[in-house]
Amino acid sequence: MHVHHVNLVLDSLRRDPDALLGAWWSLTDVANAVAATGAQCTVFQAFWTDAVRQMNGVTYRFVADPPVDAPVSVRIRALRRPRRLLAALASSGPNVVHVHGLAFPVQ
């Protein structure tokens, strides 16, 4: 089973991927718990640039969406459409998708 964990919150401090994973413990704790069951877990994180990290058997895909050159108001508003992130998610063939948080009901 392949579980996808999606977080659409952009880090306003613009930390690098490793610093973000260290600071946002709930993101890594949930993913680690899923991986501990034997399921494959991939986290899709809205981010300022594209990056990939592997940690504790979990793949973290940081997806710049909207693009870095978009105005700040577009990048942080709750009603934005994260097209690149959703396309990456759909193309990776999840069995289960979990969206982290309740702040993005439209997406």
Reported confidence tier of residue 45, pLDDT bands at 50, 70, 90: very high
Longest dimension (CA), the chain: 41
Cite the beta strand spans of 1-107 per DSSP E: 2-7, 40-47, 51-55, 58-64, 96-99
Q: What's the pLDDT score for residue 67?
A: 54
- The residue ranking higher by pLDDT, 16 or 13, is 16
> Distance (Å, rounded) from C-alpha 57 to C-alpha 65?
25
Q: CA-to-CA distance for 39 and 94, rounded, in angstroms? A: 11
Whether omega for the bond prior to residue 66 falls within 30 degrees of 0, making it cis, is: yes
Q: What is the pLDDT, as a whole number, of residue 34?
A: 95
* Alpha-carbon gap, residue 105 to 96, rounded angstroms: 18
How far the first Cα of the chain sits from its last, in Å, is: 23
Place of tokens 């396309």: 87
Beta-strand relationship, 58-64 and 40-47: parallel
DSSP reduced 3-state for 53? strand
Tens digits of residue pLDDT in 67-90? 555 666 655 555 567 888 989 999
